[in-house]
Amino acid sequence: MQIVWQCLCLVVVWILRLSGFVSEAAIPHRYLNTHQLIVKYGYPAETHTVTTEDGYILTMHRIPYSPKSNSTDTKRPVVFLQHGLTGSSADWVILGPNKSVCYMLADKGYDIWLGNSRGNKYSKKHTTLSTKSSKFWDFSWHEMGIYDLPSMIDYVLNRTSHHNLHYIGISMGTTMFFVCTSMKPEYNRKIHLMIALAPTAFMANSKTPLHKLNLMNKTTLRFLSSLKINAVRRSKFMDFIAEKVCTDEKARIICSYIIFELFGYDYKQLNESLLPVMFSLIPAGASWKSFVHYFQEMITDSGKFLQYDYENLNMAKYRQPTPPEYNLQAVTAPVALFYGSNDPFADPTDVLKLNNTLPNVVELYRVPWDQFNHIDFIVANDVNPLINDHIIYLMKRFKTLT
């Protein structure tokens, strides 16, 4: 009954907003989509869609300029930002102006585009397939790299009449980039600078909760692959966590514990008041196959960055018994690697290996905070001095060097 009452209250609030009695700025973050979050802070927002070669319809959000920018140039340099696994474009805007890097870059005169990969809440349409079909969810970040990114990048460049753009990716957003530019090398020339936050390619040293339980092995992987799970979606349980647990000052320690177990412990950088927003936005939707592909990367004997392992079907798929390796030598675009010492997914050892493999790394930046974890790149209390200020500095410096 209480849940019904809360839903009725929310409906009333939305009716009042539409009637003009309640401003959008007064509505909590967790009830707003990306477009509304951008508008809430007085920035212009646009929503664009693009259809991939294999039929997925993707949504992109845009901040074409900032009301604070002194730039009068109508052809502003473009920055494209790509979220991580289970995330969405909203991840880049939840901290608001003065802390979210997309607003800060808009203030500096950049044209901001926020991508959404197939399967998340903003990209759940297809020209022929329904999300109820298992075929819709038959993809990993490999398909996102060879279909989603090229489609979005080409659309943005055509729309803005630019030849190249700046790319900022976090976690899976970096994986997608390395897949795209290794499988389709022609896209390297479309990238002015790529900034990789928590770069994930080599993952032999990753530490998931399954690792802590000593369960990350080939037997477990085969079991996880066999599960009749198509997607990771939001559930009523997650809504309950966001609405009840994370908003309660005494109970929110549970939400903190979940964050730390998944992404690494860092009490100082966690803003607990942001927990309800974080849990209301994540998961935004993802295919189960994307998780399995990452698990494969973590337990591969070769320690290589590989395409999806279909095991007995590899010969039919690849004409070889093992999945092909992504050729990172083909990634010639300039890349800056940002990593944290306490990141369980982008382990420093793996990042250093990536640094030694990529042919054009322009900077290897270790975040100067020992406890910096995987999610801190987006929501850390000190995200400006630790991350954003250096991104802006690097983009400005790199521009003068090219």
Residues with catalytic function: 171, 374
Cα dihedral value 21, 22, 24, 28, nearest 10: -170
DSSP string, 326-385: P-GGG--S-EEEEE-TT-SSS-HHHHHHHHHHSS-EEEEEE-S-TT--STHHHH-TTHII
The CA distance from 16 to 28, in Å, is 14
CA distance 239 to 235: 6
User: 283: cis peptide before it, omega within 30°?
Assistant: yes
**In which residue are the tokens 């209301």 written?**
280
- What whole-number distance in Å separates Cα of residue 66 and Cα of residue 56? 30
Count CA within 13 A, CB hemisphere, residue 33: 12
Encoding tokens for residue 394?
Answer: 């690097």
Q: Are 97 and 41 in contact (CB under 8 A)?
A: yes
**Spatial distance between the Cα atoms of 177 and 163, rounded to a whole number of angstroms:** 17
